[in-house]
């Protein structure tokens, strides 16, 4: 807190610790619950008044309401229609859909069904719908509703010259549907149909009639739908029969034109031929690749590695003979010269064998080449035949597409024809079926007691709602109330010390005091020292004396945030309480704008006063006046000057205060309000302390906070806050005031520690 930093440590007022530091969690909860109870006690008359309004209004409406009777019929709606023959009905609704039952509920509430029941029971002649209401309120409500309904019906129909009978019928159906209620039973196929009426017999009759007409309407709709389906099927069969015949003719003509017998894979000659050519081509291609490899090897003159040469027996025998002769030739060459006849013969023999070998190899190579060329030609012929056959198959496939389209259309038309023919036979059979999927489980019975109003339930709800709304309104009003009411709020929200509360006098006592038979209320501490007000001002005196350590404050300013908050009354009574301790106390009326102190002491403000002294027209002794109260003196404001702030802020005023401090133990200044005037701020800057006066339940917290902030800006020392005019009968402290006041009575006699209400309090102010 900023203002505590401005006060010396030896003089600092010891504030109580905050609630959140001095309370445990459990205590906080207890305090919160107590706060709620305090709000209820404080606003109890608001709660009681609202409670009584709700209860009385509900009771009057309940006991004056015309009784309404309700009768109920229970029906069962099965998901599937009973099947007399084993087929699916063309007209049947898909009852597996989730919206099936919702559709049935809307049919029960439909205007067409209501119209059937109205004409069946001749409800247009019944007094339920056309009788005059019994009470004026009911007649007025009926006229208003009728006018509104007529307006809306005109708007919906868009017909300007609608007949009176038609409007009456429309209004009758709307009125009928308002009394009707359809209630599905959860997790079942049962539905309850309620009808409310002022007449119990009519309620029973209408409920049963709704169920009966609903079943009859369902059967009629089925019969009409079946007949319509049969007529439609007959027409469709004729068209479909012609389409089937036309499709067969087109299919047959197309097949004959393009030589299409069958498109099945096993019976398709072209496809089989293509398959065989494909297999032959694959085989020829493999053979050609193998022979081509041998041929390539032969072209490279690598004869020795050719299998056909290596495996040739003649070549092998010739090579073996050549090797033997060559061996003999080599052996003879060691003995004979090449020109020797034997050597020449053997040489010629070797050459002959070599020629035969070469001739055989050439023959084999020629055979390999011819074989390769033959396989190559065969592959080319097969490929050509394959491509030709492939083209034929592709052409056939293109024709097959059209053929299949025609065939599918013919098959589809035949299937549709057979299905429609079957459906037509079934529809013809089902036209005579009268079984229904709706049964009446419980007939409506004559009600023996009214359905509405439920007097006991209405009164219980009225009590509960009235109490809840009353308490809610009380807390809402308390939430809107942002005024200062208790010392705890001052210390917790504004962060200022509390010097106590001053009770509010009753109007009777206040008038008695103002008449003069009991003295002035500003002097009540002197005239009635044992009253509650006197005790409150003595508590303020004690707080002032204990606000500083070592010595009490000598010069103090008592002010308030706003005008008319009781600061002058507090100034005088606090001064009287201080003078009763034997101290010399001086009251200075520094409110040079609207002075009041002189009137309380029966003086005249037109004489010498503070403004005369500060303006230099008189001395200090001449403005100090004594009172009939011992040790109490005062200085009146004097004539109202044009410049109060300049006089208060003058050096002469400060010098005067210094001189008066030597003669008096306490000097109390009555000053203007803090907000709006600079006088109090000037005074507060050199005073020992400032006491703020607020009115309990009237001064807003924001106003007090603003006054505190302004005083801190001039380094004023705020000693504490006094809550004035507290209604102790509604306050949380009322019990304690009366408890201790009556315990320490005016004659010192000890009485019972009971709370005395205002009506029981017959004592005087003493």
Question: Average pLDDT, stretch 668-679?
Answer: 90
Convert 316-361 into a string of H (helix), E (strand) and C (coil).
HHHHHHHHHHHHHHHHHCCCCCCCCHHHHHHHHHHHHHHHHHHHHH
* pLDDT given at position 221: 80
Strand 438-442 to 69-77 pairing = antiparallel
537, 502 in Cβ contact below 8 A? yes
pLDDT tier at 333 (50, 70, 90 boundaries)? confident
What confidence tens digit (pLDDT) does each residue in 161-183 have? 456 677 788 888 888 999 899 99
Phi, psi values for residue 587, rounded to 5°: -105, 125
- Among candidate residues 688, 724, 689, 694, the one with its CA nearest the CA of residue 707: 694
> In percent, how much of the chain has pLDDT > 70?
70
> In percent, how much of the chain has pLDDT > 90?
20
| Helix/strand/coil for 411 | helix
pLDDT tier at 739 (50, 70, 90 boundaries)? low
Which of 313-322, 512-521, 627-636 tops mean pLDDT? 627-636
Measure the CA angle with vertex 417, ends 413 and 423; round to 5°.
145
| Helix/strand/coil for 385 | helix
What confidence tens digit (pLDDT) does each residue in 83-114 have? 444 444 444 444 455 688 888 889 889 998 98
* pLDDT given at position 552: 87
pLDDT tier at 493 (50, 70, 90 boundaries)? confident
Q: Say which range, 398-412, 425-439, 444-458, has the weakest mean pLDDT.
A: 425-439
* pLDDT given at position 670: 92
* pLDDT given at position 573: 93
* pLDDT given at position 638: 87
Average predicted confidence (pLDDT) for the chain: 76
Is the pLDDT assigned to residue 708 strictly greater than 50? yes
475, 44 in Cβ contact below 8 A? no
* pLDDT given at position 16: 39
β-bridge mates for residue 643, sequence order: none
* pLDDT given at position 14: 37
- State how far the Cα of 115 lies from the Cα of 455, in Å rounded to an integer: 34
What confidence tens digit (pLDDT) does each residue in 585-644 have? 999 999 888 888 888 887 666 678 899 898 888 899 999 999 999 999 999 988 888 888
* pLDDT given at position 659: 92
* pLDDT given at position 721: 93
* pLDDT given at position 18: 37
pLDDT tier at 313 (50, 70, 90 boundaries)? confident
DSSP string, 263-298: --TTT-HHHHHHHHHHHHHHHHHHHHHHHHHHHHHH
- Among candidate residues 216, 191, 196, 219, the one with its CA nearest the CA of residue 206: 196
Question: Average pLDDT, stretch 75-83?
Answer: 69
């Amino acid at each position: 807190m900023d203002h505590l930093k401005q006060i010396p440590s030896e003089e600092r007022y010891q504030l109580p610790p905050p609630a959140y530091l001095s309370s445990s969690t459990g205590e906080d909860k207890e305090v919160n619950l107590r706060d709620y109870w305090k709000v209820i006690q404080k606003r109890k008359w608001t709660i009681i008044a609202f409670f009584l309004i709700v209860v009385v209004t509900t009771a009057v409406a309940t006991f004056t309401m015309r009784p309404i009777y309700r009768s109920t019929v229970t029906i069962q709606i099965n998901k599937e229609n009973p099947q007399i023959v084993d087929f699916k009905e063309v007209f049947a609704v898909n009852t597996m859909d989730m919206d099936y039952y919702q559709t049935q509920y809307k049919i029960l509430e439909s205007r067409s069904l209501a119209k059937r029941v109205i004409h069946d029971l001749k409800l247009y002649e019944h007094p339920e719908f056309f009788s005059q209401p019994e009470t004026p309120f009911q007649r007025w409500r009926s006229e208003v509703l009728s006018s509104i309904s007529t307006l809306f019906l005109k708007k919906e129909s868009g017909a300007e010259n609608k007949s009176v009978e038609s409007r009456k019928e429309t209004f009758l159906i709307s009125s009928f549907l308002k009394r009707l209620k359809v209630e599905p039973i959860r997790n079942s196929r049962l539905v309850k149909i309620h009808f409310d009426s002022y007449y119990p017999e009519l309620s029973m009759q209408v409920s049963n009639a709704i169920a009966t007409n609903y079943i009859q309407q369902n059967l009629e709709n089925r019969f009409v739908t079946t007949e319509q389906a049969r007529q439609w099927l007959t027409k469709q069969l004729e068209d479909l029969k012609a389409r089937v015949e036309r499709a067969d003719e087109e299919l047959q003509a197309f097949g004959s034109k393009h030589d299409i017998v069958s498109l099945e894979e096993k019976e398709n000659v072209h496809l089989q031929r293509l398959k065989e050519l494909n297999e032959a081509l694959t085989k020829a291609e493999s053979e050609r690749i193998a022979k081509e490899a041998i041929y390539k090897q032969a072209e490279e003159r690598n004869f020795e590695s050719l299998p056909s040469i290596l495996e040739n027996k003649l070549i092998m025998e010739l090579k073996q003979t050549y090797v033997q002769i060559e061996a003999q030739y080599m052996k003879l060459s060691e003995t004979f010269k090449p020109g020797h006849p034997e050597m020449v013969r053997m040489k010629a023999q070797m050459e002959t064998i070599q020629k035969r070998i070469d001739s055989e190899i050439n023959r084999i190579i020629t055979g390999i080449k011819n074989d390769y060329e033959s396989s190559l030609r065969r592959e080319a012929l097969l490929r050509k035949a394959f491509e030709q056959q492939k083209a034929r198959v592709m052409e056939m496939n293109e024709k097959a597409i059209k053929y299949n389209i025609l065939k599918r259309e013919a098959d589809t038309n035949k299937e549709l024809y057979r299905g429609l023919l079957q459906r037509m036979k079934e529809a013809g059979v089902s036209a005579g079926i009268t079984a229904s999927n709706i049964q009446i489980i419980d007939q409506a019975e004559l009600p023996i007691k009214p359905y509405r109003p439920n007097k006991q339930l209405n009164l219980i709800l009225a009590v509960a709602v009235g109490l809840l709304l009353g308490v809610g309104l009380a807390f809402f009003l308390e939430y809107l109330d942002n005024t200062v009411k208790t010392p705890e709020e001052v210390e917790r929200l504004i962060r200022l010390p509390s010097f106590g509360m001053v009770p509010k006098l009753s109007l009777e006592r206040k008038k008695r005091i103002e008449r003069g038979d009991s003295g002035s209320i500003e002097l009540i501490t002197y005239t009635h020292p044992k009253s509650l007000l006197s005790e409150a001002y003595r508590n303020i005196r004690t707080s002032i004396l204990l606000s500083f350590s070592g010595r009490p404050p000598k010069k103090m300013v008592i002010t308030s945030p706003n005008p008319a908050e009781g600061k002058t009354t507090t100034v005088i009574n606090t001064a009287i309480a201080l003078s009763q301790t034997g101290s010399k106390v001086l009251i200075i009326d520094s409110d040079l704008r609207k002075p009041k102190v002189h009137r309380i002491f029966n003086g005249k403000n037109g004489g010498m006063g503070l403004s005369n002294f500060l303006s230099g027209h008189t001395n200090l002794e001449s403005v100090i006046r004594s009172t009939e109260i011992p040790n109490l003196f005062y200085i009146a404001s004097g004539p109202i000057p044009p410049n109060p702030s300049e006089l208060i802020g003058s050096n002469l005023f400060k010098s005067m205060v210094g001189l008066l401090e030597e003669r008096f133990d306490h000097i109390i200044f009555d000053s203007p309000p803090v907000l709006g005037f600079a006088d109090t701020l000037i005074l507060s800057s050199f005073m020992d302390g400032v006491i703020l006066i607020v009115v309990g339940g009237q001064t807003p917290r924001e106003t007090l906070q603003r006054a505190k902030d302004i005083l801190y800006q001039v380094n004023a020392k705020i000693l504490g806050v006094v809550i004035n005019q507290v209604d102790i009968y509604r306050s949380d402290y009322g019990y304690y005031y009366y408890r201790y006041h009556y315990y320490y009575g005016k004659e010192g006699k000890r009485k019972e520690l009971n709370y005395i209400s205002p009506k029981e309090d017959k004592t005087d102010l003493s």
